[in-house]
Amino acid sequence: MELDDKYFMQQALKQARLAFNDDEVPIGAVVVLNQQIIGRGYNQTRRLNDTTAHAEMLALTAAFQSFNSTILDECAMYVTVEPCAMCAGALKWARVGKIIYGTNEPKAGFTLYSPSLLHPKTQIISNVLNKECADLMQEFFKSKR
């Protein structure tokens, strides 16, 4: 059975819920190669006292270790929220083949920048499980107000 974008976004949402439970901004990511997850990550900026410890960065690091390469052009990253400029830069250098994200990030997302921060060959798919991803973010920030 072929697993689809919704399945892998649900796996990214599981990572985001780990962040939520740790009182971190609830963003999760998984890196997929040939229908298998080779990297997982969730925001851990507070836990690790590291502003670069975004879900995408941690998932990339895990994927580099698993795949034994820093070039991930055959891989897809599923992330619950549109990557920021820093993460987009890392995704570019890793040459990730496809980025699938759940909900837009209107204040800091990579789509705010022109020219694109991503590798020119990277495919982008947006709004996969948009409501679920957006709801988790809204629930988190509502509890902070």
Is residue 13 within 8 A of residue 28, CB to CB? The reply is yes
Compute the average pLDDT of residues 104-131. 94
Whether 82 is catalytic is no
Q: Residue 90: pLDDT band by 50, 70, 90 thresholds?
A: very high
Res. 1: pLDDT tops 70: no
Q: Taking Cα atoms as reference points, which of 74, 112, 116 lies closest to residue 96?
A: 74
Q: Residue 115: pLDDT band by 50, 70, 90 thresholds?
A: confident
Res. 2: pLDDT tops 80: no
Catalytic residue among 56, 105, 132, 139: 56
